[in-house]
Structure 1
């Protein structure tokens, strides 16, 4: 049986990535596409690289008949997303790619995003969408909240290490580089080619990045005590990819063992041989995350490096992985595309 899918926010980068992935999905078809700012246009006009696909014309989300939709992806900015989702049918399965339902505490949401949550009851219902760690809850969920791409990368590194108690919790340093598509498709002066190209800068320095809300929530719950990581993101002049380097106190072999054991049966997480580290080139355009571990010249310290594609495993690929579970499909369906290299 082919399942009918709708995408709200189809004209952004994550919307385009969902279309690219679902195009070869064996059990899904796109039945409706919404992009209010580009309603009336075709996907070929908005994304010429997808002109070979037979897809519905873009409409406003209010025009979609959801009675025949099996699952809806919502790829809108935070705040807008909660306002739209709260008006959708209450029996509709939804995967939200925004930040609006990631944080369980409404006060934490207001702290990190600057406005009160407008759909608090739905916030309580949402399941956090880090597939490898919430798989069973996601299967039974109606609303799944996709993680932040930076937050997913950091958690793939640190969750097994915190759970197995192989690292110190007071001196975790996470240094992360993210490609420009992580900032979305909206026009911003700082993202113009002349402003961004040939440069490399830190941003949200000193603990102000919003994905820290996810780290605080998830790591503290896992450890049973407050965990605060030191996190600095950097913007790199690349279209896709995240590379995170994490510095921890702990035995490097024990760190490696905890990660290798945690991900031994995971289809999309590859732990490299000890001493090897990954590149964003190795995961580009794929739903894979590569993790490498090495020791440091300072005894009792370990370095972990993780790479993933922020648009795929960090966002739309993760969303499709979750949708597969919610619809009772093979988790890997539509997601086994090999990385694009070079």
Structure 2
């Protein structure tokens, strides 16, 4: 029997035997929802594209081809690469936004097709600490909490605040990076008492149930998920409307990009969705089957140059900024004790090694 038949059977059984337990996510009033800013979204998607850069020298010095246009002048404070789990993030200061940016890369292992197919079968399998009835996807949770990312990000946020003061923190991520970004923002708000955390993700999958989404919308109210047309990933893991409290459920607020018009007159419109997290008139109104819609947001390519590897390029002169742990994970820090006062831009002139 094929996967499709099994999935339909599972949905039917869920509907027949559904028992509504736990905390229900209530629709928020518009006055309680974060305000969506189109210009900010276009800036942040460029910051998010840069984290896919494999040349650590160019990314750390902010001289890569993606590090231009609306992100010029950005200063990377810390660049974190988890070699073991193929994860990458950076933390830095955006002069144009007067904010600390934390950006997470999406999955790079194997192929996106395999990753998408795997998401169809992911179950809620972890109780979120200190949130009764809240359950989350353990893989996404662990990708932030049990890797090099969390200690690296927390250290960099502290350094950034020491350098630039108590300014806004904007956490961004695409695809699985959006899931990690969401957990990061919750961690900063709840455990580290940050008062000025904003979240914007692109093509993010569901990460928890309705109880978790309800807590999330209260604790991290300034969170926006941008979804693009028929992007498959925001539809995963599946949401079963007949089983609302025990299935995966998006947290609000969604902004859906969709196409209008015909032929050469097609243009992209934006719809600000309701506060339910699962607005049936937004991305759930279409069949989410497109990988191409997942990889391009606002005309910006959100993927690395190649799949099937965690390829990175480094320059020997990065050694003065670099710390490597026993597993080979890398942290490049602008405030590393061995760093010289020379400008980082000189790094882009030398040779590089590939890992």
- TM-score, normalization by structure 1: 0.26
